[in-house]
Structure 1
Amino acid sequence: MKKTMIIPAVLAASMLFGCASSDNMDTTAMEDDMSMSETQTMAGTAEDTETMVVEETAVAVVPLGTVSTTTLQMENTQEVDEMFENMGDTESMDVLALVKSSPNLSTLATLIEQADLVNDLQRVEQYTLFAPTNEAFAKIPQDQLQKLLMPENKAMLMKILQAHVLPSEVSTLQLEDNTRIRMSEDTYIPIDTGVAGTNVTVGGAQILKGNIEASNGTIHVIDSVIIPSKDAVEDSPTGY
């Protein structure tokens, strides 16, 4: 038996289309008998993703003010276990403020701004953010990351970041083995909790530090960037 944790992708809908029905704000539901073979890519089709990230060969001039991989921090300057430990009451700050306060999440903070997602995230009352560290982004081949940073590829960057956001609070205790997070009608992120729930992975990315409570949601720090790929269709999600 496979179970599916269904979390409607209202955040993606509101960001891309500027609207979201109230019906999509339902809380998490569970369904049985859902085959993992139905797993699709997490933000568009695998073919779309590879066209944007891998197969693009045109050389574009990067305009002034555009973020470059050379300006991004690709190393963690703090032990992951120590992240947010000196913040005191993290619930007094919102999710984005906590992200910006962590030196290990500086690249994520920059890319959220690059994708123009700040205002959209601030409009969501409660959400969960799977936050890749700087070293998680360093796993992406530099040429592919640079392409994502180009203005003409902002929509693809937005889709990838949206795969890390759930429009409701979800703790690690709610992430059960053999469940999937439903992002849209036919896109899912599989979950694996390992032995006794000690090694939780979401879309192939391991949660290094979970359940950081903010005033408007929860942060789970992860070791990889969840990126749609053909492997996801084959039931083997890939995180760089």
Structure 2
Amino acid sequence: MMMKNILKPVAVMTLSTFVLSGCASSAETTDATAMEQEATYSETERMAGSTTDEEGQILDVLVVEEKAMVPVGTIAVTALALENPFPIDDMFDDIDDTEQYTVMELARKTPNLSTFVKLIEQAGLENDLERLDKMTFFAPTNEAFAKIPEDKLAKLLLTDNSAVLSAMIQAHILPSEVGSGQLQSNTRIRMTDQSYLLVSTDNSGTITSVGNAQLIKTDVEASNGRIHVLDSVIMPSAVVDL
């Protein structure tokens, strides 16, 4: 498998390679098997390309784990927008050609994603994301963040929990372009080397969920990837345990 350097991080980082692979269940996380491996590098790199096995298509994605971070100040829950100013169906409809903008630029253009954008900036990930060749955002709406209990959200925003906030944001970003058609019930996203975020679709194939989050607007194409809008926030175990 070919490796491609995609980031020159401002802090010392390692990466964990996450895998989208065939899975018979879609209701809960599962343990990793001995056949799955974690790759660690002195600089942030992506395992590029794809392959297949008896379980079906495998897509490699990653999450960047920061070993050292520039401290950021605590922000208050009251500083976040927790309502959607516009109907979900109308998001991005006022943009004639979404592909002339990057994923981050598109996310900034809809007030419904203002909290997600703010937390990306708070986590200090914006500059690193700009260096990605391709990416996919699972973007929770403002109201998705309102579903998080206020005390837990307040803890997540503390300076001491910067690494946890970063991990949560990274769980919503794939450093490759993945269309909604690739997100079927026989796929899963490895969150760590011991757990998976499972993808499920309904019988009609019109409703797709990633973990506890439903895709409510899909395949908004940008110049460097695409956005899938979520109705809930993906919660890695580090956030759940706060």
Instruction: Give me the TM-score of the superposition, normalised by structure 2.
Output: 0.72
Q: What is the distance in 1 between the residues matched to 2:51 and 2:170?
A: 18
**Is the aligned partner of 1:203 residue 2:221?**
no
**Is the aligned partner of 1:192 residue 2:215?**
no
> Counterpart of 1:197 in 2: which secondary structure?
coil
Displacement after TM superposition at 1:107 (Å): 0.4
Match of 2:230 in 1: 222
> Counterpart of 1:100 in 2: which secondary structure?
helix
Displacement after TM superposition at 1:28 (Å): 6.1
1:1-240 equivalences in 2 (<5 Å): 3-4=22-23, 19-21=43-45, 24-27=47-50, 29=52, 31-32=54-55, 66-229=74-237
Judging by fraction of residues, say which structure has more helix.
1
CA deviations 1:43-75 (Å, max 9, x no partner) are 99xxxxxxxxxxxxxxxxxx9963211111100
Displacement after TM superposition at 1:186 (Å): 3.3
Number of residues of Structure 1 aligned to a counterpart in Structure 2: 196
Q: Which has the higher mean CA deviation after the structures are superposed, 76-85 or 196-205? A: 196-205
> Counterpart of 1:210 in 2: which secondary structure?
strand
Alignment CA distance shift 1:125-1:178 (3 Å) = same
> Counterpart of 2:197 in 1: which secondary structure?
strand
Displacement after TM superposition at 1:32 (Å): 2.0
Identical positions, percent: 47
Q: What is the distance in 1 between the residues matched to 2:216 and 2:53?
A: 26
Judging by fraction of residues, say which structure has more strand.
2
CA deviations 1:215-235 (Å, max 9, x no partner) are 1111000000000249xxxxx
Instruction: Give me the TM-score of the superposition, normalised by structure 1.
Output: 0.73
Structural RMSD (CA): 3.0
Q: Which has the higher contact order (CA 8 A, sep 6+)?
A: 1
Q: What is the distance in 1 between the residues matched to 2:236 and 2:109?
A: 28
Displacement after TM superposition at 1:25 (Å): 2.0
5+ residue gaps, structure 2: 1-20, 24-36, 57-62, 66-70
Q: What is the distance in 1 between the residues matched to 2:200 and 2:53?
A: 16
Q: What is the distance in 2 between the residues matched to 1:128 and 1:117?
A: 14
5+ residue gaps, structure 1: 34-41, 45-62, 231-237
CA deviations 1:71-123 (Å, max 9, x no partner) are 11100010000000001100000011111111100000100000001011111
> Counterpart of 2:215 in 1: which secondary structure?
strand
Mapped contact 1:9–1:183 kept (Cα < 8 A): no
> Counterpart of 2:207 in 1: which secondary structure?
coil
Q: What is the distance in 2 between the residues matched to 1:83 and 1:133?
A: 11
> Counterpart of 2:138 in 1: which secondary structure?
strand
Q: What is the distance in 1 between the residues matched to 2:72 and 2:171?
A: 28
> Counterpart of 2:176 in 1: which secondary structure?
coil
Q: What is the distance in 2 between the residues matched to 1:28 and 1:76?
A: 39
Mapped contact 1:9–1:167 kept (Cα < 8 A): no
> Counterpart of 2:104 in 1: which secondary structure?
helix
